[in-house]
Amino acid sequence: MTKRLQVLLEDPEYDALQKAAAARGVSVAEWVRQALLAARRRESSGDMDRKLDAIRAAVRHTGPTGQIERIGAEVERGYLAGLGSDSTSGGY
């Protein structure tokens, strides 16, 4: 079953929609349907509990922490140290 949706627009707004639709080679109605579908897809998907569970699971993992500048410098030193070694060193 289809439903009708009425949206009131000022003339300049409607003119802009007409131009946008014409640029895509579709009717104003089809352009609006596509825009609404795209907006719905951008909306948050999934429920809040599922997202919170994912965050809680992520924070249980351990890994290097500290100031990003210090960690970046350590990684860079590791890469540079690997440049001077042979391929059997097990470096990066």
Q: What is the pTM of this model?
A: 0.48
17 in a domain, yes or no? yes
Tell which phi-psi region holds residue 5, choosing left (phi > 0), alpha (psi between -120 and 50) or beta.
Answer: beta
Contact 17, 9 (CB under 8 A): yes
Quick one: pLDDT at residue 92? 46
Residue at 2 is within a domain: no
Q: Please tell me the predicted confidence (pLDDT) of residue 85.
A: 60
The number of distinct structural domains making up the chain is: 1
Domain range for 27 is 11-84
**One-letter amino acid identity for 23?**
A
> Is 57 a member of any domain?
yes
Residue 77 lies in a domain: yes
**Residue 92 domain-assigned (yes or no):** no
Whether residue 91 lies inside any domain: the answer is: no
The C-alpha atoms of residue 17 and residue 77 are separated, in whole angstroms, by 55
Picking from 9-13, 21-25, 44-48, 73-77, which range would have the lowest pLDDT averaged per residue?
44-48
Residue 3 resides in a domain = no
pLDDT in tens, 43-92: 766 788 888 898 999 888 887 778 899 989 988 998 998 876 655 544 44
